[in-house]
Structure 1
Amino acid sequence: MMLAGCTNKGAVSGSAAGSGAGTGANARTVRMGTMMTEDFLPGWVAAKEQMFPASVNVEVTEFQSAQELSAAVTAGEIDMAMTDPQVSASLTAGGTPVRMRWIALGSTPQQGIFGIMVGPDSAIKTADQLRGASIGVGSNTVPEYVMDKLLEIQGIGEGDFTKEEIKKMPVRFEMMTSGKVDAAALPNSLLELGKINGCTVIMNDAQDSDGQNLSQSVVVVREAFEDEEGGRDAVADVARGWDLAAQAINSDPESYRDLLIEKTNLADPLKKTYPIAEYPASAKPTCDMIQPQLDWMLARGYLKNALFFDEQTGEFGPVK
């Protein structure tokens, strides 16, 4: 059920990861933050190969947790960030409004896959057998949203299984493989690792989402930064460099495998075989993608007040 409206109206915590340095005397510094995931590969490529225009000096900082990244955005230490719609909405609701500027991964269901996996000794073989199961997941995360929606499509409601709160992905993965939980909601890198170790993907959002595009990662900008003089031009320049890098990756993905391995700490068994994603260029989040996530957050109590997403401005607004 649609709960909120949508409109088309018009270094301890992080480590410096290098920069795409502008050479112009008046280059605008743009501080970008990211988790060490494949979603940010175009940003790393653009910085390394100097694809960002000379008008901007892009400084990239890598964070070990989403909480640390969010704290840096809230403190004004980061101007732009690669994150997800749920974090973006939470930042805005918490008093640090951000605009979602483009999709990092997830313009199609085949990009940025999430799914539900069971261990090598599990008797669970079908989605319906997840009824009564314990599923490891982190609250108010993309894996939880995707899990809920995939199970809902199968007619499995919230009371039909048990959510086990396991925030740390490696711990969640280990508990699933060892049988301490019946299943786990995981991102693609761990789904691929699990397959190598004899685990089984029961559902994922590339194949089992009934045509819905459930998950996206996005690049956001603090409204306060973008509204400064020259801010919008700087964001547009960053987008140009990002798109060039995305196109370069898509043209020859294997030439960027070493950088992907370096930046994302892929597990050894995946380093040579992990599929490099096709990255969208100039793809904008749409209301159809984002509004269901906001409604889910409200229903789960992760938002106190309903929000709508304006796909023309990239902003969140209160439902009145």
Structure 2
Amino acid sequence: MARTVNKNCVRMLRFLGVFLWLGLWVSPPGWSAEGIRIGVLPVVDTLPLWVAKERGLFEANGLDVELVSFDSALERDAALQAGKLEGYFGDLLNTVLLIRSGQPIRIVTTAYHTDAGRRMFGLALAPGSDIDRPDRLVHRTIGISRATVIEFLLDQMLAAAGVPSNQIEKQDIKKIPIRMQLLLSGQIAAALLPEPLLSLAESKGARVLLDDRRLDLTETVIALKKNWIETDPGRLARFRTAYAKSVETIRQEPEAMIDILVRRCRLPSELSAAFRPPVFPASGLPTSRDIELVQKWLMKNRMLDTPLNERDLVFAQ
């Protein structure tokens, strides 16, 4: 009797083993068995990625996407360079530098492009500031993060306002919360801040003098590793389809996005009642003009020797 039971158990285990093997390996047509890990930062621009993840849009397109959140760009870049990520969210400037350093990634879509009706970055003045126009920034101290998109955007805003960037004092303050605190305490005259911290500083008495609404340029992008794309070219099309659906979902249901913004993008709870998600661009690549503008700035600031060919930066297929 015991032998009969043992034989039945063995048959059952074999059956379960085959069942599990089929469950793991027999997938719907187009399903990618290999997952992808994308490094992100807790910022508003990543909202479409989180919506695509939480609403099952990636999964519906046969993609197993894991979003790995980092507190700083430095930590994210280190993980990418260590081979722990297959994808990356970041600003266009930093992406160019990563590719120049030999990272085998290519831009697959713009994450955020400036919008004439909505700011994403702005230059905030300390509470009670006597500065009432851009030319009065001359010889004043502005808190930034040097050699980053923050400094790049400040230079673009100043140029648009007719203020030479070499006539203001730039103070390198990498950590954004500290930069905002120094601004609010009046220890620096102004600071370049991203949303939603820009709105938070404004609610505490700061005043926004300049912002990015009229710059007309790509600010952030999503890049994926070449081998992940080229192993199965259909993956990229499915990724872009899921991302485009996410952007459309945000446009149709802006109020429903506040919870994700608070949980994933560090939207301060005190702003949640009034804050609305920005209008994200449909899936598409940065323009040649945007790429040229960034590379010229990098060369001017001696961070890039020669410009990279556009085909080495983007994956257009």
- Fold shared per TM-score above 0.5: yes
Q: Aligned to 2:223, which of 216, 220, 223? A: 220
Q: 1:110 & 1:289 partners in 2: Cα distance? A: 19
Q: Which residues of 2 match residues 48-59 of structure 1 at below 5 A? A: 48-52=54-58, 53-59=60-66
Cα pair 1:146 1:214 within 8 Å, conserved: no
Q: Aligned to 2:50, which of 38, 44, 48? A: 44
Q: 2:32 & 2:266 partners in 1: Cα distance? A: 35
Q: 2:38 & 2:119 partners in 1: Cα distance? A: 20
> What is residue 33 of structure 1 aligned with on the other side?
39
Cα pair 1:29 1:57 within 8 Å, conserved: yes
Secondary structure, aligned partner of 1:159: helix
Secondary structure, aligned partner of 1:307: coil
Distance 1:314 1:280, change over 3 A: same
> What is residue 125 of structure 1 aligned with on the other side?
132
Q: Aligned to 1:184, which of 191, 199, 212? A: 191
**Cα offset, 1:290, TM superposition:** 1.9
Q: Does 1:140 align with 2:138?
A: no
What amino acid is aligned across from residue 88 of structure 1 in structure 2? T
> What is residue 282 of structure 2 aligned with on the other side?
281
Question: For structure 1, which runs of at least 5 residues remain unmatched after alignment?
Answer: 1-21
Q: 2:115 & 2:260 partners in 1: Cα distance? A: 24
Q: 1:56 & 1:183 partners in 2: Cα distance? A: 44
> What is residue 298 of structure 1 aligned with on the other side?
299
Q: CA RMSD in A?
A: 2.2
Secondary structure, aligned partner of 2:196: helix
> What is residue 269 of structure 1 aligned with on the other side?
270
Larger radius of gyration, structure 1 or 2? Answer: 2
> What is residue 241 of structure 1 aligned with on the other side?
242
**Cα offset, 1:23, TM superposition:** 6.3
> What is residue 17 of structure 1 aligned with on the other side?
none
Cα pair 2:61 2:242 within 8 Å, conserved: no
Render the CA deviation track for 1:106-153: whole Å, top value 9, x for unaligned: 164445621111111211111111011110000122221111011122
Q: 1:26 & 1:155 partners in 2: Cα distance? A: 51
Question: For structure 2, which runs of at least 5 residues remain unmatched after alignment?
Answer: 1-25
TM-score, structure 1 length as denominator? 0.84
Distance 1:42 1:303, change over 3 A: same
**Cα offset, 1:70, TM superposition:** 1.1
What amino acid is aligned across from residue 137 of structure 1 in structure 2? I
Cα pair 1:102 1:219 within 8 Å, conserved: yes
Secondary structure, aligned partner of 2:57: coil
Number of residue equivalences = 288
Q: Does 1:86 align with 2:93?
A: yes
User: Where is the strand percentage greater, Structure 1 or Structure 2?
Assistant: 1
Q: 2:296 & 2:267 partners in 1: Cα distance? A: 33
Q: 1:97 & 1:155 partners in 2: Cα distance? A: 38
What amino acid is aligned across from residue 293 of structure 1 in structure 2? V
**Cα offset, 1:263, TM superposition:** 0.6
Secondary structure, aligned partner of 2:64: strand
Cα pair 1:142 1:215 within 8 Å, conserved: no
**Cα offset, 1:91, TM superposition:** 0.7
TM-score, structure 2 length as denominator? 0.85
**Cα offset, 1:252, TM superposition:** 1.1
Secondary structure, aligned partner of 1:56: coil
Cα pair 1:112 1:215 within 8 Å, conserved: no
> What is residue 166 of structure 2 aligned with on the other side?
159
Q: 2:69 & 2:243 partners in 1: Cα distance? A: 17
Cα pair 1:98 1:221 within 8 Å, conserved: yes
